Structure 1
Amino acid sequence: MNRPRLFLVTPPAFDTADIAQKLQQAFRGGDIACVLIYMPGAGTKDVQATADVLVPIIQAGGAAAIVYRDTQAAGRSGADGVHVDTSLEDLKLAVESFQPDRIVGTGGTKLKHDSMEWAETGVDYLFFGKLDLAEKDCAHDKTLRNASWWAELFETPCVAMAGNCLDTLGDVAATGADFVALKDAIWQSDTEISSLIAHANTILEAHPFPETE
């Protein structure tokens, strides 16, 4: 697929049965590449119990199920990968343990030098945008700048966090990011979720990657 793909991030707190139903609705709306099970502060027992329910749904929808930070829960639940952003050493350990069979992603770097250093570990993607930052209608300017810089210069795929208004999604796709992340725009909208996913995919289809020779 020669254009950016959707990368969904769950809300930080949710009812498992409710989000499971919403994910099933989301997949009826079209292409989704990844879903990050984002449960900051939750213990391994809770993360694994949730992942045990959500991972099969995500995988049945044709997407990769990624668990936030908890390598134990990711491994035990059969998730496709883990997102590690706690430290460079933690990231190196995850890459050593999970690859090549599973995905390891990272993000949250503050400096360009750190982004390059963390990418050198061999991660599968670099995430631009703060997961714990309050979302605005538009993507944050720094996210757009960093994603544009990265997509132009580096081979490691990148994810760019969009804002909570789908009408601004084109600005994120225009950076050349391989994946566009959505969180509040999906879960906090009154619109039916499958319709939101379909609309998001229509926007992304209008931003194909440049042809490479």
Structure 2
Amino acid sequence: MTEPENRCRLVLIVADIADADEQAKIVADALKGGDVASVIVPQYGLDDGTFQKHAEKLVPLIQDAGAAALIAGDSRVAGRAKADGLHLSGNAEALSEAIDKHAPKLIVGGGNAADRHHALEIGEVRPDYIFFGKLDGDIKPEAHPKNLALGEWWASMIEIPCIVMGGTDPASALAVAETGAEFVAMRLAVFAEPARAPAIVAEINALLDEKAPRFED
């Protein structure tokens, strides 16, 4: 598997599947489709104990596929499941506290960057990445125009990598790549039809290989 370091890479957001074994199988299959930089595991409506069980099944298989496993929200679950990092959707203050506590042992990123002002506040605490959009914000085929605009603005001037939430159409990954963002996050685009997930991961990678702009060294 070639390593596409010089273009936008795919980040998967695990879909909301109540059965932990089924969820793990679908994610493992998707990861067979090709390059995935990291996988974010949201808690959705699960109680902490159940989320812990899901995380403990998912983290090793994500890591075995060569991707970073990021747990959304709960540092205790991230620690117990031996995840690579923590994805937070709070404000700059919450991120700053988590960075002080967990970096550099864990990747710490995210942020609730709904506009430029909040994005810059988040940037000041130096997270490992900033996330534009919501983890379940893929409600239309295309990526949200506001997130694309924020990603383009950020990528043009700030070195901290950004992840931009894509839409439900796998082709929306290209619009994100064209902003200069380092990563595109996909959820329903990949997991809406679980049987097709590996093929869709392969398709997104092929699209980015062919058409995504290349980063300068």
Q: Into which bin does the TM-score normalised by the smaller protein fall?
A: over 0.9
The answer to whether the aligner puts 1:174 opposite 2:178 as a matched pair is yes
Task: Name the structure 2 match of 1:37.
Answer: 41
Cα pair 1:44 1:72 within 8 Å, conserved: no
| Distance of 2:193 and 2:203 partners within structure 1 | 13
Percent identity over paired residues? 37
CA RMSD of aligned residues (A): 1.5
Cα distance, 1:13 vs. partner? 4.3
Task: Name the structure 2 match of 1:202.
Answer: 206
Cα distance, 1:186 vs. partner? 0.9
**1:145 aligns with one of 141, 144, 149:** 149
Cα pair 2:17 2:23 within 8 Å, conserved: no
**1:88 aligns with one of 87, 92, 106:** 92
**1:211 aligns with one of 195, 211, 216:** 216
Cα pair 2:13 2:185 within 8 Å, conserved: yes
Task: Name the structure 2 match of 1:52.
Answer: 56
TM-score (norm 2): 0.92
- For residues 1-40 of structure 1, the aligned pairs below 5 Å read 1-40=5-44
One-letter amino acid matched to 2:212: H
Task: Name the structure 1 match of 2:132.
Answer: 128
SS, match of residue 166 in structure 1:
coil
One-letter amino acid matched to 2:22: D
| Distance of 1:132 and 1:32 partners within structure 2 | 19
One-letter amino acid matched to 1:194: P
| Distance of 1:25 and 1:143 partners within structure 2 | 29
Q: Kindly tell me: are residues 198 and 90 of structure 1, through their superposed partners in 2, closer, same or farther at Cα, counting changes over 3 Å?
A: same
Task: Name the structure 2 match of 1:75.
Answer: 79
Gaps of 5+ in 2: none
CA deviation vs aligned residue, 1:69-100 (integer Å, no higher than 9, x gap): 10110111100000112233321121012111
Cα distance, 1:126 vs. partner? 0.5
TM-score (norm 1): 0.93
Task: Name the structure 2 match of 1:65.
Answer: 69
Gaps of 5+ in 1: none
Paired residues, number? 212
Q: Kindly tell me: are residues 51 and 191 of structure 1, through their superposed partners in 2, closer, same or farther at Cα, counting changes over 3 Å?
A: closer
| Distance of 1:207 and 1:155 partners within structure 2 | 19
CA deviation vs aligned residue, 1:100-155 (integer Å, no higher than 9, x gap): 12100113222211111112112011011122335101001101101100110100
Question: Please, which moves more after superposition, 64-73 or 90-99?
Answer: 90-99
Cα distance, 1:41 vs. partner? 4.1
Q: Kindly tell me: are residues 59 and 210 of structure 1, through their superposed partners in 2, closer, same or farther at Cα, counting changes over 3 Å?
A: closer
Cα distance, 1:5 vs. partner? 0.7
